[in-house]
Amino acid sequence: MTAAATAPAEPLARTLFAVPGMRCAGCISKLEGGLAPLPGIASARVNFTSKQVAIEHAPELQLPDLQSAIAGLGFEAQPVRDGGLPADKSESRSLVRATAVAGFASMNVMLLSVSVWSGAEGATRDLFHLLSALIAIPTVAYSGRPFFRSAWNAVRHGRTNMDVPISIGVLLVTALSLFETLTSGPHAYFDGAVMLLFFLLVGRLLDSVMRDRARDGVTALLKQRAVGALTIGADGKTEWRAAEDLAPGMRMIVAAGERLAADGIVESGTSSLDLSLLTGESAPRRADVGDAVHAGTLNLDGPLTVRITAAGADTAIADIARLMEQAGQAKSRYVRIADRAARLYAPAVHTLAILAFVGWMLSGAGWHHSLLIAAAVLIITCPCALGLAVPAAQIVAAGALMRAGVLIKDGSALERLAEANRALFDKTGTLTLGRPVPLDLDRLAMKPVILALARASSHPLSRALRKALEREGIVAEQVEALVEKPGFGMRGRYLGLPVSLGRPNAAAPGLATAFTIGDLQPALIRFEDGIRPDVRPALGRLAELGLESSIVSGDTAASVAPVAGQLGLTAQTSMRPQDKLDAIARLSAGGAKVLMVGDGLNDGPALAAGHVSMAPGSASDVGQMAADAVFMGDSLAPVATAILVARRTMRVVRQNFVIAIGYNMIAIPLALMGLVTPLVAAVAMSGSSIIVVGNALRLRGAAK
């Protein structure tokens, strides 16, 4: 989707525009192909999911110049900030209202039409036609606006899109029906016009909702940044600044419990940071003077003074958001087929309708009859059945999976799940439960004292220890002078003796904490992050389906090895987000269709870049948003179930394509021969849609 480059001056500037008027592949081609030849523009890349176009251009080109260039192609565009996506859901709300109005009007107009079909004649028939007109004309004017507005924007700039023939067909049928009503004619086709609008709006609403969900993933990630920070001026005075006002060179204070608003270097203080956003490590990591820290990470223990090195769109978390956005631009095979069909649809339908009108005029049929046949051609060629072939099956299958504990978020996810032939799993929180559990508590002495220390800390291991001891009914002793030392843990005094619960020595294996009292040898308390139930059967089922599995983890080799050994999987460890992207790219280059299963914020880019992705319900908000599907509960079995249902769904989709194409092969010649009225065309079009939906409903029990 990248336009050919010109030879702009260096360095290039990049500007991002929201283009809500994009409707089909023809719009993408028009934008990218139309902007490329313009002087000063190096490239234009469309993201159809977010309806945005990114332009790389010479710095001397200003915003109004670029907006004028886009307007010259027939699109309205508004600049948006790089690194973020607009959260405007007004289009979906507007489509919901238009669909509801069209659906309600369709039911009422059809009731009146049934009375006419039953034999009403004369004044009674004229009255029913007039009532139908009073309902249908305002409905067409209101619910048809999305199509009329798009068609008008295209026509007034000398181009066409798939909304042009739809608009012509609806307006032509409505006008002829009004003419019949005013002249007491025998036939009116208001029912066909409003029914056509209703089916078209349902498809457009589904498409809009899916795009909203795609945008929510990046929005949730960017929310991990703090909204601002307390900065220290050169005179020592402190001032709170919003995140967008922070700049490299400033110094900011990050208190315990706060997230960082920018990337930087620690100038003073020590603390433990939750770095799972970048590294995937489940254990907090110590941060001392001189260490690099990143926006979005959580300061757990003590206050830090940080010198800012990158802010706003230059931070690591913004890079992750951009990776997710770019990775989401890939198109699936069935979407590409639909795009190619959309390119051919408008000119083909226009040609057929004109040929029908001219041919019947030349044969002496008269303008009224010729227009009716042309309108019937426009309606009967409406690609409703073809448009429903994929989403109807996807929606029914998604409902079946939802009842089985799998939430499908992207309409094309099932298509990509069916194609997956390689599986990559994150470890912590994906193959394991992500909930550390203390081991060998029975051998532990001084439990009441340990509980007193653990409950005074918010550290993840302290919380896990507190819950385990409280489940045993342990009651805490009175420990005095409790204090939490940043980077170490809790200290206090019990019966005059010093006690502590905190970081063990460096030789301690895996997750662990150490309890000491007086001069006695520290007691090591180890923790285990348990493997999910049904992991082995699920991996075996995936293998039967032809999916080889392995681990890609940000954790250290020592942490991953026990899990990999138990499950018999190969593993790559200490991987940052870019490393996981590279691993997916290498597999994809070799022809693999990668299913990525992960849960952490650091898995976001990999989840977006995988051919398809899944996240557990316990995953972070960003992980859930970035994934194509979310499975609920602790079991990993739904991952294999989703693959099975997806493959069955694709068989139904292919059947629906055959039905839709067969319908058009039969119906179009009949319409051209004048054997189909606009009403019959609308009924036939609706009938083909119903058959397609009925076939899709067979998937309701697919997940059982």
What pLDDT does residue 10 have?
57
Check whether 459 has a pLDDT greater than 70. no
Class of residue 81 by CB neighbours under 10 A (exposed 0-12, middle 13-18, buried 19+): exposed
How do residues 56-71 score in pLDDT, each as one tens digit?
A: 788 777 777 888 888 7
CA distances from 480 to 264, 354, 445, 498 (A): 37, 91, 19, 10
What pLDDT does residue 647 have?
92
Cβ proximity of 600 and 620 under 8 Å: yes
Across-strand partners of 572?
Answer: 552
Across-strand partners of 57?
Answer: 13, 41
- Higher per-residue pLDDT: 537 or 679: 537
What pLDDT does residue 388 have?
67
Check whether 25 has a pLDDT greater than 60. no
- Higher per-residue pLDDT: 6 or 619: 619
What pLDDT does residue 17 have?
81
Q: Which CATH architecture has domain 225-314?
A: Distorted Sandwich (2.70)
Angle at 41 between CA 40 and CA 45, to 5 degrees: 170
Q: Where do the structural domains in the chain lie, given as residue ranges? A: 13-79, 90-213, 225-314, 436-529
Report the sign of the C-alpha dihedral through residues 149, 154, 155, 156, in that order: positive
Which of 98-102, 156-160, 326-330, 663-667 bottoms out in mean pLDDT, i.e. has the lowest?
Answer: 326-330
The structure tokens 């192609």 sit at: 73
Check whether 138 has a pLDDT greater than 90. yes
| Strand (E) or helix (H) holding 648 | helix 637-672
Determine the longest span between alpha carbons in the chain, in angstroms: 112
- Higher per-residue pLDDT: 648 or 18: 648
Q: Determine the Cα–Cα distance for residues 47 and 325; give it in Å rounded to an integer.
A: 8
Alpha helices in 408-527 (DSSP H): 413-419, 447-454, 460-471
What pLDDT does residue 7 have?
45
Q: Determine the Cα–Cα distance for residues 307 and 315; give it in Å rounded to an integer.
A: 14
Report the sign of the C-alpha dihedral through residues 427, 432, 438, 440, in that order: negative
* Exposure of 424 in the CB half-sphere (CA atoms within 13 A): 32
Cβ proximity of 514 and 523 under 8 Å: yes
Cβ proximity of 573 and 585 under 8 Å: no
Edge-first strand order for the sheet with 271-274 is 285-287, 271-274, 298-299
Q: Determine the Cα–Cα distance for residues 62 and 40; give it in Å rounded to an integer.
A: 11
Q: What is the residue-averaged pLDDT of the chain? A: 78
What pLDDT does residue 420 have?
92
Q: Which CATH number does 436-529 carry?
A: 3.40.1110.10
Q: Which of 73-77, 282-286, 673-677 has the highest mean pLDDT?
A: 673-677
What pLDDT does residue 593 have?
92
Q: Which of 450-454, 456-460, 511-515 has the highest mean pLDDT?
A: 450-454
How do residues 179-237 score in pLDDT, each as one tens digit?
A: 888 888 877 888 878 887 887 787 677 666 655 655 555 565 566 667 788 888 887 77
How do residues 76-120 score in pLDDT, each as one tens digit?
A: 777 765 544 444 566 778 888 999 999 899 889 888 888 777 777
Which token pair is 617? 């319900």
* Mean pLDDT, rounded, for 424-432: 84
- Supply the angle between the helices 678-697 and 367-380 in degrees, to the nearest 10: 10
* Mean pLDDT, rounded, for 517-529: 85
How do residues 625-675 score in pLDDT, each as one tens digit?
A: 778 888 877 788 889 999 999 999 889 988 988 887 888 788 888 888 888
- Higher per-residue pLDDT: 513 or 412: 513
Q: Which CATH number does 13-79 carry?
A: 3.30.70.100
What pLDDT does residue 286 have?
74
- Higher per-residue pLDDT: 359 or 287: 359
How do residues 351-396 score in pLDDT, each as one tens digit?
A: 888 888 898 888 888 888 888 888 778 777 766 667 667 767 777 7
* pLDDT bucket at 421, cuts 50 / 70 / 90: very high
Give the active site residues: 426
* Mean pLDDT, rounded, for 163-188: 84
For residue 121, the SS3 value is coil
What pLDDT does residue 595 have?
93
